[in-house]
Amino acid sequence: MLSKQYKIKDLLRKNGIDGAIVSSPENFHYITGFASHQHTVSRQPMFSCAVLTALDSEKTHVIAMDFEVPALKEKLPDFEVKKYDTWVGVREWDEILSTIEMNPIINSFESSIDVLVKSIKELNLGNKKLGIELDFLPFNYYSILKEKLPEVEFVNISGLFILSRSVKTEDEIEMFRTLTKIQDEALSHASRFVEIGVSEKKVAHEFRKHVMASGICTPSSWSTFNTGINSSRLCLPSDRVIEDGDTFKFDGGVNAEFNFYTTDMSRTWIIGNGHPALFSLKDRLYEGQRRMIEAAKPGLPISELFNIGFSYVKQSYSCYRRGHLGHSISMGPQTAEAPFITATETRLLEAGMILCVEVPCYIKNKGGFNIEDMILITPDGCEILTYRTPHYLK
C-alpha cells in the first residue's frame, strides 16, 4: 500500500497542528504504507510509532525495535527509520565467525520513548501543538509523554484519521475490490449449504475454508452464521441446525491481515416454509435498502440517505426502530466507522467513500434480518461491490 501521510499532513495544517505522533498499528500503516510486525501483534504503542510534522518538506521519523529496523529500512526508504534497544541482542556475522565481540555492550538502554522524545526535538516539535491518538493510547503512556514533554500542547487527532480514512484513494479502492470479491465468492459458495438440517458451524466452515484458500485475507473472527432465534441475537456459530421456516443470517467479512483493511456485508434467507409475515418484512427491508443504493451519489446529505430507507420501512411497520442504516469502513480494528448513516449526519456523500448500507430488523425469540451491501460512491452515483451473493436463494 502507498503512504497516506500527505492526507494527514494536510489535515494537520488545516487544524493548526504542528505535528503528530502516530501510535496505533492501523494508522502507522496508513502513514507509512507498511505494518510493523511486533507492534501489530502486541498492539502496544511502545513497540513502534511515527512522528511527522505538518510540513511536506520534513521527512517523517519511524521508530522501531532494533530487530525490526533492517526490514523497515528496506520497505520505507523515504522515511527516517530509527532503532531503540530491545532484549533481542542481534549480533554481527563477523562476531559469530570469530567468536569475538566486536561491539561490546554499553551499560545503557535507549527505550522507544527515549528515541521518540529525541525525534520530537529534532523535528522542532518540543514546544509545539502535537497531535496524538488519545482513543488508542493507554493512560500511563500518555502520562509519560506529558512528563517527558512538558512544553508540548497535546491534542487528540483520532478523529482526523477517521475523517481521512472515510474517503479512499485509488489503491485503497482496489484493495476493497479484491477483498469484497473474495468475501462475496466465499459467501456465495457457503450459501449452497444453507438448507434444512445443516448446522451453523458447517456453513461457517465452508465460508472460512473458501476465504483461506485465497491466500490473501482471513475470515473476520466475529463473522456470524445464525439460524432461527440465533439470527435475532449476536452470537458466534453454534451446533444449532437449520429448521424449516427459519431465517438464516450471515453478518461478517474478511480481514487483510497486516494490511488491516476489513469488510462487512450481510445476507438473510428464509428457509423452506417461512411465515408469510417474514417474507413480507424481508421484501420491505430489501426494497428500502435498494432505494438507498439507487439514491446514493456525491452531494446527497447522509441524513437524507438514512431517511430514504428508514421512512420506506416505517410506512409499513410503525414499530420499526433503528439508530443507523450503515456506516463507513476502512482499516479496523472496529468495523463500523464514521460517518454513520443516521438521521442527524449532516455530512455530504463524496466520491471515494465506501459505505456499508444496511437495513436490519430483529425480532426477539423469532429471528432477524440484516440486508447489507458495501458500495463505492462514484462521481455520478454508486457501485455495489458485494453483488455476487444473492439476497434470495432459489
| DSSP symbols for 256-311 | -GGG--B--EEEEEE-SS--HHHHHHHHHHHHHHHHHHHH--TT-BHHHHHHHHHH
pLDDT tens for 271-292 read 999 999 999 999 999 999 999 9
Q: Please determine, for residue 88, whether its predicted confidence score (pLDDT) is greater than 80.
A: no
Residue 104: predicted pLDDT: 63
Global pTM exceeds 0.85: yes
384 burial type by CB count under 10 A (0-12 exposed, 13-18 middle, 19+ buried)? middle
| Confidence class for position 27, pLDDT limits 50, 70, 90 | very high
CA distance linking residue 288 with residue 303, whole number of Å:
15
CA distance linking residue 84 with residue 255, whole number of Å:
30
Q: Is the preceding omega at residue 104 within 30 degrees of 0, hence cis?
A: no
Q: What is the mean pLDDT of residues 315-339?
A: 95
Q: What is the mean pLDDT of residues 109-132?
A: 95
Residue 308: predicted pLDDT: 98
> To the nearest whole number, what is the mean pLDDT of the chain?
95
pLDDT tens for 160-214 read 999 999 999 999 999 999 999 999 999 999 999 999 999 999 999 999 999 999 9
Q: How many residues does the chain have?
A: 394
Residue 94: predicted pLDDT: 87
Q: Please determine, for residue 69, whether its predicted confidence score (pLDDT) is greater than 80.
A: yes
8 Å CB contact between 360 and 369: yes
Q: What domains can be seen in the chain, in order of their start residue?
A: 5-164 (3.40.350.10), 170-384 (3.90.230.10)
8 Å CB contact between 261 and 180: no
Residue 58: predicted pLDDT: 95
Residue 95: predicted pLDDT: 83
Q: Please determine, for residue 107, whether its predicted confidence score (pLDDT) is greater than 60.
A: no
Collect all residues with Cβ–Cβ distance below 8 Å to 310 and sequence separation of at least 6: 288, 320, 322, 325, 343
Residue 343: predicted pLDDT: 98
Report DSSP letters for 150-195, one per residue: TT-EEEE-HHHHHHHHTB--HHHHHHHHHHHHHHHHHHHHHHTT-S
First to last CA, the chain: 40
Which residue has 420501512 as its cell numbers? 313
pLDDT tens for 207-251 read 999 999 999 999 999 999 999 999 998 999 999 999 999 999 999
| Confidence class for position 91, pLDDT limits 50, 70, 90 | confident
